[in-house]
A = this chain, B = another copy of it.
Amino acid sequence: MYVLDNRQRTEASLPGLSHHTLAGSAEGLAQLSVWRQTIEPGSATPPHRHDCEEVVVVGQGRGELRIGGGAHAFGPDSTLVIPRNADHQIVNTGSEPLTIIAAFAMTPVEVFLPDGQAFPLPWAS
């Protein structure tokens, strides 16, 4: 399956966050996962980390990347670079939905909370 229609993919969610896995192990990949998410105003990802690098391309909206003890504001049309095993959190600080595409150098993607506990994802990653 080389071509997938994003509008026909399965939607999943966390509170204030809508998720689609665009590609990953279920699509035959071994090295790479790509997700699309929409985070509602005032909502955020949980603080978490992955044992792989992550790049987030921000489409619309504004937010804050909390990482490395700091908070880094971003607007639309930005890229977020998240090192391997860096605890981070993406927060929608704006008044509109925040749309992102996230690429991970791993599939399936494993998620850990800052205390090291595995965070079970409600989607195939």
Contacts and interface: CB of A to CB of B under 8 A. Distances in A.
Nearest to A63: B3
B5 A30 contact: no
A82 B2 contact: yes
Given A32-B53, A34-B57, A2 B105 contact: no
Interface residues of A, number: 41
A86 to B, nearest CB: 9
Binding site secondary structure of chain A: strand
A78 B27 contact: no
Interface string A76-93: 011111111000000000
For the complex of A and B, 5 pairs with smallest distance between CB atoms: A31-B105, A103-B103, A22-B79, A32-B105, A4-B79
12 contacts: A2-B82, A3-B65, A3-B78, A3-B80, A3-B81, A5-B78, A22-B79, A23-B81, A27-B81, A29-B53, A55-B103, A101-B101
